[in-house]
Amino acid sequence: MRVSWFGAGLSGLVDLMLPLRCAGCDAAGVAWCRDCARELGGLRRVERPLLEAVPPVYALGRYRGAARRAVLAYKESGRRHLAEPLARHIAIGLRAITAEHRLDQAWYLVPAPSRTIASRRRGGAHMSRIAHRAAAGLTGAGHPAAVADCLVTARGAADSAGLDAAERVRNLSGRVLGRTSRFPPQAAQVALIDDVITTGATVASCLAVLGAAGIEVAAVLGLTATAA
């Protein structure tokens, strides 16, 4: 508990002490400028060998340039205030998916889980923070949404940076777990959300856990996706 409190406090101090600058281009006076926001302004399909027989998978931008810098600033450099603009992008993306697939139910947002040690360092689960803000934004705009924070990563999972697809699958095998009491209803309209879609190993592991519980995912939405 002390580690978690310290991580959250330190992250909050970073937000207060650093001058407000765009996470994408370093422009003064704004956390995320309009020009950089355009890099998360699309809804593009993501295709990966690991995700061939799954719900539609989308990303809002490429994991490069301003979008990549913003994601890293948010989850690795303590800039927690970026949760709000990043959540707005997720909400906009989900509204677009709703229209494209003619969906008509309330969304249940399931954030992809982080390793416990990473969550403590970041002052909390970074995608959960975004999910709650996105759900609030959707609800406020007349599109009811809730968060089902039901996935966790067990101990033993290593940092996936630098791992190829097969190594990522082995790294996560049996280590993405579900918290039964937090699952969304089985008939719910569920969206799995993540920050970066790389090989698809995390998405596939999350979908497997949800599927085993009888939960059908309508769509997967990432803030960004790598080129391959």
- Look at residue 4 in the predicted model and tell me its pLDDT: 39
- Look at residue 123 in the predicted model and tell me its pLDDT: 61
- Look at residue 1 in the predicted model and tell me its pLDDT: 30
Q: Where in the chain are the domains?
A: 2-225
Mean pLDDT by 10 residues, the chain (228 residues): 40 58 96 97 95 94 98 92 97 97 97 72 81 98 97 76 71 84 96 96 95 97 94
DSSP type of residue 101: T
- Look at residue 7 in the predicted model and tell me its pLDDT: 44
- Look at residue 220 in the predicted model and tell me its pLDDT: 98
- Look at residue 112 in the predicted model and tell me its pLDDT: 96
- Look at residue 58 in the predicted model and tell me its pLDDT: 98
Which residues touch 227 (CB under 8 Å, ≥6 apart)? 62, 63, 64
CB 61 within 8 A of CB 40: yes
- Look at residue 124 in the predicted model and tell me its pLDDT: 66
Report CA-CA distances (Å) from 225 to 30, 86, 115, 125.
25, 14, 20, 20
CATH assignment, 2-225:
3.40.50
At residue 38, φ and ψ (nearest 5 deg) are -65, -20
Which residues touch 160 (CB under 8 Å, ≥6 apart)? 168, 171, 172, 198, 201, 202
